[in-house]
Amino acid sequence: MTQGLPLAITCGDPAGVGLEVFLAAFKKIGNEIPVVWFGDGRHLPNNMPFTTWSPKTPHNIVPGLNIYQIDFTNPAVLGQADPENAKGVISSIEKATKFAKSGQVSGICTAPINKKNLKVGTNFKFSGHTEYLAYLCGVKSAVMMLTCSELKVVPLTIHIPIRDVPKAITKEVFETTVKIIHSGLIKDFGIKNPRILVAGLNPHASEGGSIGTEDIYHIRPWVSKLKSQGISISGPSSADTMFHKRARGDYDVALCMYHDQALIPIKTIDFFGGANVTLGLPIVRTSPDHGTAFDIAGKGIANEKSMVHAIRTANLIIKSRRNAA
């Protein structure tokens, strides 16, 4: 029996690849990192043995698969979203978060959800995991950071149309995000003086005002103010020069202005191995950097590398927070 708080793995949408990549990752990690899967035992492959975990004795993890039972309405049909199962998906996230807040699990790693299915099935009002977890944890703002072995990136704006990006970039959003990044890299990754490089909104960071003015009259003064407060921040820089190997050595994290500006470089560098980390929460949360992949669910071709990295990253953050306490 392993003594130590486990990491909660939420099941995500049971029709997707979440369980598949978790089981493959679990084979690689084994008992090195204690984990508990939050899902419905009926969704496991036939005759797979497991032990039911109880939050009343949270340190008790036996060898093999441990699960916390979440009752879903229906069995899972791989590749077919079922709105009637959306309530179970939400319940797995809520229970894992509750136990993380109370200290019964060490943190959470969330398998992918399908936001459309959640909206249909439960009238889910959040744009994604990050915003929902911030709500559950009672914090006003949380930050989504993507990380792999060679790069860390943060999108300042996330799941909004590109036409809405400029208006969404406000001084308050920018300053809050930078401060969360700064404190998060110190607390969660042990980087004493994190270097933040800001990507310009416009091509060539507005090129002296000939391609827009947002970088000159808004972002640059905001950067200067934060730098005067002791944060190691620079930019805005032309995004097309920030992500080659030599440039990546000059900063610890890139703050990008919109979703694709951040995710294209990290997925190009390490498509299968990136992980999502939520900064600014009182609990540890990571996830694999991919979606439900309904089209390949159950075919045995889903790559578990991102889930492995997400679990290992969560474990590193847990240790970093413990050492900083």
Domain ranges within the chain, ordered by starting residue: 1-143+273-325, 150-269
On the question of a cis peptide bond just before residue 236, with omega within 30 degrees of 0, the verdict is yes
Distance, first Cα to last Cα, the chain: 27
Are 206 and 200 in contact by the 8 Å Cβ rule? The answer is yes
Percent of the chain with pLDDT over 90: 91
- What integer pLDDT is reported at residue 324 of this predicted model? 79
**CB neighbour list of residue 128: distance below 8 Å, 6 or more residues apart:** 115, 144, 158, 159
DSSP class of 200: P
- What integer pLDDT is reported at residue 128 of this predicted model? 86
Q: Which CATH number applies to 150-269: 3.40.718.10, 3.30.300.130, 3.40.50.970, 3.40.190.10? A: 3.40.718.10
Mean pLDDT of 42-50: 92
Q: Which two tokens stand for residue 79?
A: 């590749």
Name the residue among 259, 255, 264 with its Cα closest to residue 165: 259
Hey, do 1-143+273-325 and 150-269 end up sharing a CATH topology, with the first three levels equal?
Answer: yes
- What integer pLDDT is reported at residue 134 of this predicted model? 95
Mean pLDDT of 242-258: 97
pLDDT tens-digit series, residues 104-163: 999 999 999 999 999 999 999 998 899 999 999 999 999 999 999 999 999 999 989 999
- What integer pLDDT is reported at residue 2 of this predicted model? 54
Is the CATH number 3.40.50.720 carried by domain 1-143+273-325?
Answer: no
The mean of the pLDDT values for the chain is 95
Ordered DSSP codes for 91-124: HHHHHHHHHHHTTSSSEEEEPP--HHHHHHHH--
